[in-house]
Chains A and B, each alone.
Chain A
């Protein structure tokens, strides 16, 4: 934990000082107003949004994996991100994307709608079946892809570029209000998950087993699912679709520390933050002045690391 924390601080420090215009941390206290402005208005919010979004997506992934007892579950497979993307695509098709705040708002609504429909589809009488939940997510994803394709073919060329950039995930233009937005969501969700941690840890052994240990399984599933979906919605709304974090980070953490949910929760949050800040740093560094999609770099960085850990673990 300590090691991960130190890594996060180092990565954040590097990411803040690196950019098209190199600015050192000391500019914060120097006389150079423009350097200070770059730090305060651009770099620091961007890196912080990256860290928060990474932590959020990773924590959402861990929660979904634990609730469904399926290491392949993540916000994408369950259709939550797909719903958000469809919401953004609809706003683009209707030419609303130019108004500030509309894309994130509709993306957030899309994520909520996706969650509600996946959960309702999977519900049978008083019980939510994990396999049906995953299947419903897969089917909804196909539906959302269709919606996105239709919306894009109806969109104006000029709107389309922005929409595509959003779909590939970007931290460009991150603001302090976004830091606050994702921060508040993450803070509240972490509170809820810590509150449920002992129960979630038991659900990992199976639902009937958890019930025989006195856990109110259906209630924990409902609250956990809503919390993980809402933070996914918030993260996707500010940063677009950044893939692999929700799937990769919890898996990776679990390969190194094979412990229960209560240990994994903070580790996963920090791990997700590191991956996204690092991916953003690399995406800015590869070709100066060009912004490459961050979602590609979370995968490019994460996958080799993942594979090497996979080979070493039994």
Chain B
């Protein structure tokens, strides 16, 4: 469904990513990792059509992103930025329902079905009780859940999440990881999420991409990644792995 072909992006001379090639199928849950500044966010922005590649091309459903009408693409693909702007804090339900914007006509307003979808998305993200609260009365993790609900309220086929697990507490990291799995299984959507924590990335995905210096350094399944040699090669970190419940967990040495 998503096909990235030799795509590169440079920020006025500074390299974002270079010649990344990658293919995602429907129903995949993919983690995107790599050290700071390795190009994870740039990768997601190219796929979200927020940035246009300066070289190569990105295709969705076999059509170049350049040929998609912006609103039409937005109906299919949701993107959660690392830090959504909350300068003008509104009620959670109003924030979530704004995620339906790609479906609105120019002068259109949300209808009751949009609000119902928003309430459902909030419920799904364990944030139904926050519905009438204002964003500036919430903790960082609660806000994150509101914006996750906003990304899912479009019922997208491709969900791109930039650091969705950052600033969530342990219980909600777990809840959210299960939620991503549910989304994938229920709707056959593809989810790509950037994450710093290798353990969570590996534990809750089918496939892990590792970015290094703007290039795609590895595209592995989680068990292949969680090997001390691989970790040393990709992250310059000495680590051991322990097995718990049939999954490998990484312990830095």
Contact = CB atoms under 8 A, between A and B. Distances in A.
A258 B90 contact: yes
Interface in B68-109: 69-75, 77-79, 81, 84-85, 87-91, 94-95, 98-99, 101-102, 104, 106-109
A314 interface: yes
Interface of B: 12, 45, 48-50, 69-75, 77-79, 81, 84-85, 87-91, 94-95, 98-99, 101-102, 104, 106-109, 134, 136-137
B104 A259 contact: no
A125 interface: yes
B85 A202 contact: no
Interface residues of A, number: 29
Interface in A188-208: 194-195, 197-198, 201-202, 204-206, 208
Contacts of B95: 205
Contacts, number: 81
B101 A213 contact: yes
Contact of A262 (B72, B81, B89, B109): B109
Given A205-B98, A314-B137, A69 B74 contact: no
A214 B71 contact: yes
Interface class of chain B by DSSP: mixed
A258 B91 contact: yes
Nearest to A68: B87
Contacts of B48: 211-212
A216 B45 contact: no
B79 A212 contact: yes
B73 A204 contact: no
B107 A260 contact: no
Contact of A212 (B49, B85, B104, B134): B49
20 contacts: A69-B88, A124-B12, A195-B106, A195-B107, A198-B104, A201-B101, A204-B85, A208-B45, A208-B81, A209-B79, A209-B81, A211-B49, A211-B70, A213-B74, A213-B102, A214-B69, A214-B73, A214-B101, A259-B90, A260-B94
A206 B74 contact: no
